[in-house]
Amino acid sequence: MTIPAFGLGTFRLKDDVVIASVKTALELGYRSIDTAQIYDNEAAVGQAIEESGIARRDLFITTKIWIENLSKDKLIASLKESISKLRTDYVDLTLIHWPSPRDAVPVAEFMQALLEAKKEGLTRQIGISNFTIELMQQVIDAVGAENIATNQIELSPYLQNGKVVRWAKDRGIHITSYMTLAYGKALKDEVIAAIAQKHNATPAQVILSWAMALGYAVIPSSTKRENLQSNLKAQSLKLDHEDMAAIAKLDCNDRLVSPEGLAPEWD
């Protein structure tokens, strides 16, 4: 199974706002939806999916296990609760949202519990999020690289995370990019604006196309129908070598997501 290159993120969207976003996205043709336990919106996402009338087999649903549920006695029970909220019998991908702070729960413990959830049919694929090279190695030691569908990391034109990407790629671990538009900062970039003008595209389309051209999955979110529709068109935008080289030069290690007490020691 492969991870869809393009999906809908739901971070920071709740209640009626997330219901509207998911319903609109599904109506426009989105089929991959990304949520998480800590987003506190799984039930609303589940409602939107159910009310859309789209067959479950046509959807790809991702959720993430929060740090409080990482121990082997909590992980599977918490995933079952997530599945219930999402009004489904299984999810397509389950990620460990963040590594356990201060290694309170060892990597081997939560990864083996997650692999057990896969064996039980609760999730089709498993993976990780916000994991460094050192932590990815621990994951591989625990369950094997072949069991890791993706590492979802912050990745944008301003934080291209080359070291982590290369290490993961060398071991067959796919990358999913979140915060691809850098909280909107990259949309105002002059280099990206020029590329957008050249292709008669939007800056968001350029950035998303750039990430997908590098082989990453993207999960942009929006509450506006026109942006949801516009972002979809990134899938058909083809950037040339010159465009890709220009965006590569924007990398400046500008990390926007690094919660104190939660973030690992970044590479």
Token pair in block for residue 256:
């926007």
| Domain count along the chain | 1
Residue 256 lies in a domain: no
Residue 93, CA atoms < 13 Å, CB-side half-sphere: 27
CATH of the domain at 92: 3.20.20.100
- Rounded distance between C-alpha atoms, residue 252 and residue 185, angstroms: 13
- Rounded distance between C-alpha atoms, residue 104 and residue 215, angstroms: 33
Mean pLDDT score, 138-163: 98
Neighbours of 189 (CB within 10 A): 19
Q: Annotated catalytic residue: which of 30, 39, 178, 216?
A: 39
Do 180 and 218 meet the contact criterion of CB atoms below 8 Å apart? yes
Residue 251 lies in a domain: no
Residue 235 lies in a domain: no
Which residues form the domain of 159? 8-182+215-220
pLDDT tens for each residue of 206-247:
999 999 999 999 999 999 999 999 999 999 999 999 999 999
- Is 216 a residue of the active site? no
pLDDT tens for each residue of 33-74:
999 999 999 999 999 999 999 999 999 999 999 999 999 999
Residue 255 lies in a domain: no
